[in-house]
Amino acid sequence: MKNIIIGMMLLLVTFSSQAQDIKNKNAKYDIEINGNCEMCKKRIEKAAYSVKGVKSADWNIDDHTLHLIINEEKASVLDVKKAIASVGHDSDEVKATEEQYAKLHGCCMYERK
């Protein structure tokens, strides 16, 4: 009888710990990304989609917000921010290098903070 109770308790602990590691397959985020124009929009969205696990990426020119849906089992928001920074666009956490920023077209050069 003790073995059954101990076995049940171990099973319960195992399921409890696994439940905490479950990540959202359709996590929604809004991220501020600096940019100016339609060329920026295409570049930002293309960089976001290059990250495995990104399901939707839509950057709004007016408010500089990237509306993102990702599978958190495959990608993180930080992965997306790094990919976008690698093409020259800053976010709150990850900044593009001066070299990456300098490669942007003249109309795409936003005011850096």
pLDDT tens digits for range 85-106: 999 999 999 999 999 999 999 9
CB 81 within 8 A of CB 54: no
54 is written with which tokens? 């990104």
Residues, the chain, total?
A: 113
**Which domains does the chain possess?**
25-108 (3.30.70.100)
Whole-structure pTM value: 0.79
Q: 57: closest CA among 76, 88, 29?
A: 29
> Is pLDDT larger for residue 1 or for residue 54?
54
Q: Which residue has the tokens 């991220």?
A: 31
